[in-house]
Structure 1
């Protein structure tokens, strides 16, 4: 079971942070205002500035919070995997859905670089700890981890389009299960056979020598 909420999440500071994440996610950094964040959080603009100083510092606080949350979820998933509880490991990822819009907007606006780099490091650790039997590769581990991370982070960016394609809001419990099922199906059914992949790699090697 997930640990208890951070005490900070019960404070006015947390309400401001959550409101900021909503505004940054919906409107982008440039169009978001301190006044709008304050109104959503139910506080004064002065209190926003008291806690965070500036809009830039507030965005940094949001980035730091998301990064801490991703690390926490990653640690909980590791624990579930060590216990052999794959169902629990799958369920742990659900809270991250609350930050999809914020993460997507940050990535589109050219931000979230620390989050991306941290997730690449996490992916490298997972690929090292849980190698697939018979899936040896001559592609650098970091390249594979970076591509896997980009693939995963494309989901928040395309969330609305994916929801339309699925015919269900992916932020709902039903949508989350549908999305997780589709991802598991892709992960467990390679798009190419080992023979097809070998032939394609041979073609790439030929291009390198042209």
Structure 2
């Protein structure tokens, strides 16, 4: 069964050029990549590349939009089936995004994937909105900030995959890696590393560092407010 249906666009020369650009940018980087090189990778003329995209920058934007579309589909599928009995979404994501991993890692490292990063932050905020409704304590940090950090941590797996594979003892981008990463994520997210009490102490310490003359424990601030 296919992970996602093909867009009609994916059967066109435009899509072939876009996929060639994803491979070419991933191998050479944006600055070193050329329209001619992308055309050769796609097996078309430079003129056809310019006809469809106009410029190298526009082509990169099309690459980012395509990846964002793939990720939105994966996100929608996961949200529609949050407790699947027969799907490993780590494996599904690797199958869908794996061919673009070199592009994604390079673009993230050189800071050129801002629209794509922002799209993932937006998707992460939706998951946090659901989780926040069941929190026993109110969030201490704005949701977008938390989503931004979560996104950076998740995407770092792509950038640092060689180190992660070495530490895990298996190739991260393999079926065995899919299973081990999925189990690891489940274990991490199902067991908080800090209790609510320890978290409160940590916040109080940060308050004291930031405002040493006026800081007081959060629970005392709330009691004063109630008075």
User: Which TM-score tier does this pair reach, normalised by the shorter chain?
Assistant: 0.7 to 0.9
Contact conserved, 1:80 with 1:89, CA < 8 A, in 2? no
* Structure 2 residue runs without a partner (length 5+): 213-227
Task: Provide the TM-score with structure 2 as the length reference.
Answer: 0.81
Aligned pair in 2 of structure 1 residues 179, 155: CA closer, same or farther (>3 Å)?
same
Offset, 1:197 = 2.1
Tell me the residue number matched to 2:127. 126
Alignment of 1:37-48 (within 5 A): 37-48=38-49
RMSD: 2.2
Whole-angstrom distance in 1 between the partners of 2:65 and 2:51: 18
Aligned pair in 2 of structure 1 residues 161, 26: CA closer, same or farther (>3 Å)?
farther
Contact conserved, 2:4 with 2:73, CA < 8 A, in 1? no
The structure carrying a bigger helix percent of its residues is: 1
Determine which of 143, 147, 150 is the counterpart of 2:149: 147
Task: Provide the TM-score with structure 1 as the length reference.
Answer: 0.86
Contact conserved, 1:103 with 1:156, CA < 8 A, in 2? yes
Contact conserved, 2:26 with 2:104, CA < 8 A, in 1? yes
Whole-angstrom distance in 2 between the partners of 1:20 and 1:170: 25
* Structure 1 residue runs without a partner (length 5+): none
Greater mean alpha carbon deviation, residues 132-141 or residues 112-121: 132-141
SS across alignment from 1:31? coil
Tell me the residue number matched to 1:93. 93
Offset, 1:30 = 0.8
Tell me the residue number matched to 1:178. 180
Contact conserved, 1:169 with 1:175, CA < 8 A, in 2? yes
Contact conserved, 1:76 with 1:92, CA < 8 A, in 2? no
SS across alignment from 1:182? helix
